[in-house]
């Protein structure tokens, strides 16, 4: 992936005219989505893990995730972003090493989340900023300006305890810190309130990524609110597996 191609991927993140990513899990689904007219491809960690027979949460070995990434990149002629979850390690240097392994294979960007994988908690803002900064430093050192999509799980971790104003304030604090650390985009899965999305898009120092799901505004509404990137997350994989299960049951019933 050349610097020009990476910049082209970055340029697809436009507030009000969002990049739409129908998340895939292997080379075959990548080709299908690319042929449908996608401008870029993105893996989803839960989908890739599930397709390999693993649960989500960095249970899929990193080597397997990267081999899958390479097959995806080889299958399409458009930019590919990989979901690296928490970077497969807590320490900043581990995160940097993980990131470089992905971009060395040709990834144009990646998601990096602030959830402490498996712990049901979030990294503190300084800790996550340091992890992002390590990734950016490694990328800069290699001359590869890959897109760091900083995911914050503030809304996902809140569960049913949705105090939108309080949660939004924390997201904004994290967005500012993550941007200063070198992130290019802000991914806020679990945020589905249209007014809050609009406020975040107006304040965020980075383009905002929202994940489609139950009760989420439709793509047209998200665009009007200023969203720059829309992800479908595990939805496509879940739908595909539901169809397979239904057909298999019909065969064996």
Q: What is the pLDDT of residues 113-163, one digit of tens each?
A: 999 998 989 999 999 999 999 999 999 999 999 999 999 999 999 876 679
* 3-class DSSP state of 89: coil
Per-residue pLDDT of the chain (253 residues; tens, 9 = 90+): 788 889 999 999 999 999 999 999 999 999 999 999 999 999 999 999 999 999 999 999 999 999 999 999 999 999 999 999 999 999 999 999 999 999 999 999 999 999 999 898 999 999 999 999 999 999 999 999 999 999 999 999 987 667 999 999 999 999 999 999 999 999 999 999 999 999 999 999 999 999 999 999 999 999 999 999 999 999 999 999 999 999 999 999 9
DSSP, residue by residue, 13-78: --TTS-EEE--B-SHHHHHHHHHTT-S-EEB-HHHHHHHTT--TTT-S-HHHHHHHHHHHHHH-SS
Shortest CA distance to 45 belongs to which of 27, 79, 17, 69? 69
Task: Check which CATH number belongs to the domain holding 25 and give it.
Answer: 3.20.20.60
Domain span at 247:
3-252
Shortest CA distance to 196 belongs to which of 234, 162, 153? 162
User: Using an 8 Å Cβ cutoff, are 206 and 186 in contact?
Assistant: yes
CB proximity list for 216: less than 8 A, separation 6 or greater: 192, 210, 222
Number of domains, the chain:
1
CA distance 25 to 206: 27
């Amino acid at each position: 992936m050349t610097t020009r191609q990476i910049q082209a991927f970055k340029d697809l993140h436009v507030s009000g005219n969002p990049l739409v990513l129908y998340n895939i899990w292997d080379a075959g689904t990548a080709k299908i989505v690319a042929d449908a007219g996608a401008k870029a491809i993105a893996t989803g960690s839960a989908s890739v893990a599930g397709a390999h027979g693993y649960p989500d949460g960095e249970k899929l070995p990193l080597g397997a995730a990267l081999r899958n990434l390479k097959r995806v990149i080889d299958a399409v002629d458009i930019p590919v972003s990989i979901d690296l979850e928490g970077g497969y390690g807590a320490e900043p240097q581990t995160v940097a090493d993980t990131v470089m392994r992905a971009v060395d294979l040709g990834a144009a960007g990646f998601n990096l989340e602030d959830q402490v994988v498996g712990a049901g908690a979030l990294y503190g803002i300084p800790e996550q900023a340091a992890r992002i900064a390590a990734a950016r430093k490694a990328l800069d050192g290699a001359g590869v300006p890959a897109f760091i999509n900083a995911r914050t799980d503030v809304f996902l971790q809140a569960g049913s305890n949705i105090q939108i104003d309080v949660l939004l304030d924390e997201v904004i604090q994290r967005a500012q810190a993550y941007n200063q650390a070198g992130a290019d985009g802000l991914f806020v899965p679990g945020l589905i309130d249209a007014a809050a999305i609009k406020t975040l898009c107006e304040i965020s120092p980075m383009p905002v990524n929202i994940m489609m799901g139950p009760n989420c505004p439709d793509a047209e509404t998200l665009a009007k609110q200023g969203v720059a990137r829309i992800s479908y997350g595990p939805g496509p994989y879940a739908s595909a597996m539901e169809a397979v299960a239904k057909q298999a049951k019909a065969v064996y019933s």
